[in-house]
């Protein structure tokens, strides 16, 4: 099963989503409900009161209402939901990409919190927390019995406040108590490195900082590789669950000189919004060749980027079928600081294709073998497998998605290796390099 990693400084990722934020009251008034609707609401009120009065144990009124609301929304599609004040705040924190925390990536193993890695120059790293450490207690409270999200929540907190972690470390003869002082953690939405004559950039999510991080990555790669030696770039969107729509547009724009990036279409046929690249003489990577990597973990905002660069013939897409989430959720603030996440539109690639339930089909399919210890487990991820998903216009019986696995060691990463071989001319394919003059546009 794909390793589930929680970023202590971020909490759980926002899920497969392309989101737009609405501040204030929605401008479109709801249609007046008919008499039959009011009768059904009266039945709901009657049931609510009977549950409160007669259920075997006294229920929590707030939970009853929240679960009723979520029941209504989840019946629409898998991505619409109600967020209470805490959940809405978590979402705002995640999309901002900057918050108070310790700076460690963690997972759950053997009922303990295991440190995957401390982030460089963060409070945890400075305090001596090491990769492979197991957190047994948080401020004296046993971790056993807590969920990963519960443990993460306890470790988050206000900046400049201390927290004591009781750690089990291999080779230590007794538990270690380490005090860490929380600080502002800035999550890097883009990780990059130089692979000899190729620039590699991995976008992990689309937060408010993604485009700025991408600009920095491109600039640093240019500093490290002379222009005449630089063969091109790899943009890795695998395992990227999505995020903010405007950031997906900005990232796409960085590699384009012109053209439509994406369009969204709402309930009203006239409700069409188009997002175009800024017209310019050159893109931010100076026209260098670009290969985009996708797999079953590439969803929504990452599919917007891959679809735009593929349709406009700016990049060759390599990997396996993407997740296939082609819907846009609008975040509408509600009273008491809660929020409504509501599916309000579907998005379409420049050629007019809907990705919903279909996904991005790579120009070059390269399967990534699963290691022996994971064989037999279902690593496939796809929108078409989700119960109650919106049926896509391009969706077929084949569905969407594919395996969502990326080897931790680049030496075993066949998709990345193939991308670099394409850029270096060691492999050839009719789709590489793409010809922008043959871009597929919606008429």
Domains 100-185 and 190-331+341-438 in one fold: no
pLDDT at residue 7 tops 70: no
Select 100-185's CATH number: 2.30.42.10, 3.40.50.10490, 1.20.140.10, 3.40.50.970. Answer: 2.30.42.10
Q: How confident is the model at residue 112 (pLDDT cuts 50, 70, 90)?
A: very high
Residue predicted with more confidence, 35 or 311:
311
CB contact set of 108 (below 8 Å; sequence gap of 6+):
4, 114, 147, 148, 151
Cα 295 to Cα 298: distance, rounded to the nearest angstrom? 5
Q: How confident is the model at residue 22 (pLDDT cuts 50, 70, 90)?
A: low
CB 249 within 8 A of CB 308: no
The catalytically annotated residue of 114, 137, 313, 325 is 325
pLDDT, tens digit (0-9, with 9 covering 90-100), for 320-362: 999 999 999 999 999 888 999 999 999 999 999 999 999 999 9
What average pLDDT does range 92-103 have in this prediction?
78
pLDDT, tens digit (0-9, with 9 covering 90-100), for 232-278: 999 999 999 999 999 999 999 999 999 999 999 999 989 999 999 99
Could you give the percent of the chain with pLDDT greater than 70?
Answer: 92
Q: What is the DSSP letter of 181?
A: E
Helix (H, G, I), strand (E, B) or coil at 21: strand
CB contact set of 338 (below 8 Å; sequence gap of 6+):
82, 83, 84, 85, 87, 88
What average pLDDT does range 285-308 have in this prediction?
97
What is the topology classification, in CATH, of domain 190-331+341-438?
A: 2-enoyl-CoA Hydratase; Chain A, domain 1 (3.90.226)
CB 281 within 8 A of CB 55: no
Residue predicted with more confidence, 150 or 71:
71
What average pLDDT does range 286-312 have in this prediction?
97
Q: What is the dihedral of CA 430, 432, 438, 439, to 10 degrees?
A: 130
The confidence score (pLDDT) of residue 442 equals: 67
φ, ψ of residue 115 in degrees (nearest 5): -80, 115
Report the Cα–Cα distance between both ends of the chain, in Å, rounded: 42
Cα 234 to Cα 420: distance, rounded to the nearest angstrom? 7
pLDDT at residue 98 tops 90: no
Q: What is the DSSP letter of 381?
A: E
Cα 218 to Cα 192: distance, rounded to the nearest angstrom? 9
Residues forming beta bridges with residue 108, ordered by sequence position: 113
pLDDT at residue 83 tops 80: yes
Tell me if residue 325 is catalytic. Answer: yes
What average pLDDT does range 44-50 have in this prediction?
95
pLDDT, tens digit (0-9, with 9 covering 90-100), for 119-134: 778 899 899 999 889 9
The catalytically annotated residue of 17, 300, 322, 354 is 300
Tell me if residue 300 is catalytic. Answer: yes
CB 183 within 8 A of CB 9: no
Tell me if residue 396 is catalytic. Answer: no
pLDDT at residue 44 tops 80: yes
The catalytically annotated residue of 90, 236, 311, 363 is 311
pLDDT, tens digit (0-9, with 9 covering 90-100), for 132-159: 899 999 999 999 988 887 888 888 888 8
Mean residue pLDDT across the chain: 89
242-244 and 260-265: which strand pairing? unpaired
Question: Could you tell me the residue ranges of all domains in the chain?
Answer: 100-185, 190-331+341-438
CB 89 within 8 A of CB 127: no
Q: Which of these ranges, 43-47, 169-173, 245-249, 312-316, has the smallest mean pLDDT?
A: 169-173
SS3 per residue for 120-173: CCCHHHHHCCCCCCEEEEECCEECCCCCHHHHHHHHCCCCCCEEEEEEECCCCC
Could you give the percent of the chain with pLDDT greater than 90?
Answer: 68
């Amino acid at each position: 099963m794909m390793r589930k990693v929680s970023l202590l400084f971020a909490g759980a990722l926002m899920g497969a989503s392309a989101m737009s934020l609405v501040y204030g009251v929605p401008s479109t008034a709801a249609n007046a409900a008919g008499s039959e609707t009011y009768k059904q609401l009266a039945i709901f009120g009657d049931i609510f009161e009977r549950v409160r009065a007669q259920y075997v144990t006294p229920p929590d009124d707030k939970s009853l209402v929240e679960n009723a609301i979520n029941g209504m929304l989840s019946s629409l599609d898998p991505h619409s939901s109600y967020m209470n004040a805490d959940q809405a705040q978590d979402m705002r924190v995640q999309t901002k990409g900057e918050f108070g925390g310790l700076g460690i990536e963690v997972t759950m193993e053997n009922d303990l919190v295991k440190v995957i890695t401390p982030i460089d120059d963060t409070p945890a790293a400075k305090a001596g927390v090491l990769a492979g450490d197991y957190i047994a207690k948080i401020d004296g409270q046993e971790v056993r019995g807590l969920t990963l999200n519960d443990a993460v929540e306890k470790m988050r907190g206000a900046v400049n406040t201390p927290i004591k972690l009781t750690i089990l470390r291999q080779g230590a003869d007794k538990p270690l108590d380490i005090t860490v002082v929380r600080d502002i953690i800035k999550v890097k939405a883009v990780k990059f490195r130089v692979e000899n004559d190729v620039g590699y950039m991995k976008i992990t999510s689309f937060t408010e900082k993604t485009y700025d991080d991408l600009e920095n990555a491109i600039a640093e790669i240019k500093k490290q590789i002379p222009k005449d030696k630089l063969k091109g770039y790899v943009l890795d969107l695998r395992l990227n669950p999505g995020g903010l729509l405007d950031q997906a547009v900005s990232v796409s724009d960085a590699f384009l000189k012109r053209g439509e990036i994406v369009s969204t279409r709402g309930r009203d046929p006239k409700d069409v919004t188009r997002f175009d690249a800024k017209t310019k003489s050159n893109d931010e990577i100076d026209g260098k060749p670009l290969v985009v990597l996708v797999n079953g973990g590439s969803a929504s905002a990452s599919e917007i980027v891959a679809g735009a660069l593929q349709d406009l013939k700016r990049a060759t897409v390599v990997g396996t079928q993407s997740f296939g989430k082609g819907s846009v959720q609008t975040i509408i603030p509600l009273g008491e600081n809660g929020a409504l996440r509501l599916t309000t539109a579907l998005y379409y690639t420049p050629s007019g294709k809907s990705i919903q339930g279909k996904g991005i089909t790579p120009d070059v399919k390269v399967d990534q073998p699963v290691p022996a210890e994971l064989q037999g487990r279902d690593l496939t991820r796809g929108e078409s497998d989700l119960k109650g998903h919106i049926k896509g216009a391009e969706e077929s019986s084949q569905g969407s998605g594919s395996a969502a696995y990326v080897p931790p060691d680049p030496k075993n990463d066949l998709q990345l290796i193939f991308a670099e071989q394409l850029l270096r001319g060691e492999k050839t394919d009719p789709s590489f390099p793409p010809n922008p003059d043959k871009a597929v546009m919606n008429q």
